[in-house]
Structures are given as C-alpha cells and as structure tokens.
Amino acid sequence: MNRRDILRRTAAASLLAVPATGLLTGCALGGGDDNSGGESLEGTKSEQNPLGVKEDAPLEVVIFNGGFGEEYAKAHEAMYTAKYPKATIKHSATQEINKTLQPRFVDGTPPDVVNNSGAGQIDFNGLVSQGAIADLGELLDAPSLDVPGKKVRDTLLPGVVDVGSYDGKFLVLSYAYTAYGIWYSTKLFTDRGWQYPKTWDDHIALCRQIKAAGIAPWTYAGKHPRYMSWPVISTAIKFGGPDVAKAIDNLEPNAWKSEAMKAAADAWYQIVKDGFIMPGSPGLDHVQSQTEWCRGKAAFISCGSWLESEQAKVTPAGFNMSVAPTPSLGTGDKLPFEAMRGTAGEPFMVPAKAKNRAGGLEYLRTMLSMQGAQDFTRKVSSLTVVAGSTQGIDLPFGLSTVVKALDASGSNGFNWVYNNFYRKLERELVDAACGEFFSGRTTPAEFLDQCQKGADQIAGDSSIKKYKRQ
C-alpha cells in the first residue's frame, strides 16, 4: 500500500464519519427542552363534556400486560369510543413499560394514558420530579359519568387520592383496590378445627399446633422477602397508630426504630426463632412459595389481594383462600384487630406531554364510571377504587373475604406510601433486610438497623426528590 492509497482511504473514511457525527448530536438526550409536544388537543367544555375532549382526537393507551391482562382495557376503550365515535384508539399492551416508553418521554411524544405497573414500572419518584405526569385534579372535580349528582372524587374509596398524591398534587390514579393481609385456606382450617388467631399469643399457640400436625405454619417469598415487611409494618401500625407509617413515609430520623416497630419486629422474630417457617422458604420466589402454600405445605402466607387470581391455575378446588388482618399484639394496641392495610394499586397516569391530555383524563373518567368499574371486577376478579362497585357481582371466594375484611376494617384501615415515593427503599433495601431477618441471620435490632440505614441512605441522597405525606 503506498502513501497515496492511504490518504485516499482516510478521506473516504472521514466522509463516512460525517453522517455518523450528525446522528450523534440528536439522540438519547433529545435536543433541549422544547415544548412542541406539549400542545394538547382540546375541545370545548360543556356539561356533557366537562373535561373538554376533542371528539375526533385520537387516543393512545398503553396497558401493562400482567396479571390483569389487557381485555379489561379493551372494554374500557370500547366504552370511550361509544361516547366519542369519531375518536380512534391506539391500544397496545406490554410488560416492559419502562423500556418501551422511556424514549418517547424523552422525545416529548408519550402516549395519552399509561398503566405504569409491574416489574418494568417506571419509578414514580423520577417521573414526578421531572414533571412528566399531568395533574389529575381536574378529573377529581368532574362529575361522575354514571353516578348522578356526584363528582368523581366522591365516588372513590378513602385513601385513593392520598396514595396518588405527591406534595399535595393528585398525579397517579391507582385503579385496583388491594388489601394486604395474611392468607390461609378455609378448608384446611375447618378440616383441622383451627381458628384464625386474633392475638399474637394465640397466633404463636396455633403455629405450635400446626407444626405439631406436620405442616409448616409459615412460608414466604424468599426471593422477594419484602412481602414479609407488610405484616411487620402492619403489626407496628396497629400497635402504635398510623403515625408509625407516616414517620416511615416521611423518612423521619429513626422512624424504623420506633417503639412500635421494635415491638412488631420482636414479635415476628418468634416465628423465625421457633422454626415456624417452612425450611427452604428463603430459596423460593413468590410463585414457588405461593404454590407450596396452595399444596398445603404451609398454613399462612403474606400477600395482597391479587393472590387469588395469581394462583388460580394451581389452587385445588375447595381450597377457599381467606384473608385476615395481622393478629393484635395485645390489648394496648391503638387500632382494633380488624384494622388492615387497604390501598389502591395498579397505577394509571396521563403524561404531561400527552397530545390528547383531555382525552386521557376522560378515559380515566370512563374507567371510574360504575359501568367501567363493574366490568373490571367481573373480568379480572379484583376490586376497583370505585365505592360500591361490587354490588350485584358474584365474587370468587377469596375476593369476597377481601370485601368482608375491608368492610370490617372500615375507617380503621391504614396504609403507607414510602414504596411509591422511594421505590428503591422497599424494592432493594428493606427487601434485603427482610431476607436476612426472616432467614434468621439477623436479630430484630439488626433488622431495624438495616432498614433504617436504607432509609437514611435515601434521605441523604440529594438526587432523589423527597415528598411529604400529608
């Protein structure tokens, strides 16, 4: 190769490089903050159309294709087009909400409605702090679609607005109402003549009895041990009142080491110490542990009310799973035995830069109509956040116990939201601490220390926006 050849080739190579550098300038980060995507299609507001929907504006809906599937959403979309026949709806369903939608948020062209849920959920802390989600306040004050004389706000169960609010702004509509409690098989318990224990001492006594009968009293999702943080925190809240949770949510110093948390951790340590947990549980994931439980290898498991549909395929006939609140620690508890954690899950949001923002809000209003809610409950066997929407619907056994338990819990119901505010704290840090604690490698004090260290890490991280629970 002579020198001229080399020169010529270099020239050719640099020619090739030119288009590549051009591409480089406008990629992942986009080109600055232009609001071109923020222009929203709007119609005129009227009594019939309180949100100002442009009737022929197309609407794009992205659904998380998880336990609930996507059929329920297609039904909601049909209700929307029934009202706005000129509108076309682009529907898609995915399990990877974050990877699918991240570039579109950056680009300023997000869909109009996003069901941000599942393992691929986008962390709400990041979304909210970047102003990526539209305020849903207008939706709350709009009249309900088919409950006469009521605003949307007044049709919702208590706590729904609280759980979707960030610094007082209602940004996220969580659609499915979920109860968190302890599950057992009614059949197993009647066969053996066991009674669900209302106090901690009875619980321990029953565990001893169950173990003697050759069944493991407890199992849990060892790979996702945060499932066990739910009964521990619930026990603490029932012992010390709802402020226990508020302190945790607001990352107050030593919130995890409060007296109530100590009492709860000490109590729960007994099921570890006395070997009431099924051997091998730390190596099981949620499905594996729930399946062992369905096979009658363990008596109790901690889960949310999605358990029944998640386990539908492997639950034996007549198993009749029931949910119950955590046992009371003693007579000094601030909340009665019936109090349990009920909260809204399955989050929906309208991106701030959605083209058809009004349509997105209207879609949510359709979901929150009595018709939309009842259809959801019928299709996926889950409760919605719309009050009274289960009336006249035949519920499966487990779900009917959820309704009963929530009714009994009533105004004593409680909740916490740190898992929404700081996803990492629950998913990674408290999760790891629970794993150590429930496999017997740490003491209650070490467990709470580890949780507190996680909370302090979040509190001290200036790149994470802090929210205050009101």
Question: Per CB under 8 A, which of residues 71..100 are in contact with other proteins?
Answer: 98-99
Exactly one of 6, 10, 31, 192 binds other proteins (CB under 8 A); that residue is 31
> Does 111 engage in binding with other proteins (CB under 8 A)?
no
Residue 115 CA to residue 93 CA, distance in Å, equals 9
* Enclosing H/E stretch for 77: helix 71-83
Q: For residues 337, 454, 121 and 35, what is the CA-based torsion angle, rounded to 10 degrees? A: 120
Site for other proteins in 381-440 (CB under 8 A): 423-424, 427-428, 431-433, 435-436, 439
Q: Name which position in 279, 318, 332, 392 contacts other proteins (CB under 8 A).
A: 279
When asked if residue 28 is in the footprint of other proteins (CB under 8 A), the reply is yes
Of 395, 457, 453, 13, which is closest to residue 179 (Cα–Cα)? 395
Residue type, 71: E
Residue given tokens 């100590």 in the structure block: 262
Size of the residue set binding other proteins (CB under 8 A): 59
For the chain, the first-to-last Cα distance in angstroms comes to: 75
The yes or no reply on residue 317 touching other proteins (CB under 8 A) is no
Beta strands in 350-422 (DSSP E): 383-384
The three-class DSSP label of residue 165 is: strand
Residue showing tokens 């499905």? 287
Q: Smallest gap, in angstroms, from Cβ of residue 17 to other proteins?
A: 8
Pick the binder of other proteins from 164, 222, 304, 398 (CB under 8 A).
Answer: 222
Give the whole-angstrom CA distance, residue 74 versus residue 376: 11
385 near 156, Cβ under 8 Å?
yes
Smallest gap from Cβ 446 to other proteins, in A, equals: 12
Q: Is 229 in the site for other proteins (CB under 8 A)?
A: no
Nearer CB in complex with other proteins: 126/242: 126
Residue 212 contacts other proteins per CB under 8 A? no
Q: How far is CA 179 from CA 61, 163, 173, 387, in A?
A: 27, 14, 17, 14
- Minimum distance from residue 441 beta carbon to other proteins (Å): 8
Min dist. Cβ of residue 33 to other proteins (A): 5
Residues near other proteins, by CB under 8 A: 12, 16-17, 19-20, 23-24, 27-34, 98-99, 102, 105-108, 120, 122-123, 125-127, 129-132, 222-223, 225, 278-285, 288, 292, 297, 423-424, 427-428, 431-433, 435-436, 439, 441, 463-464
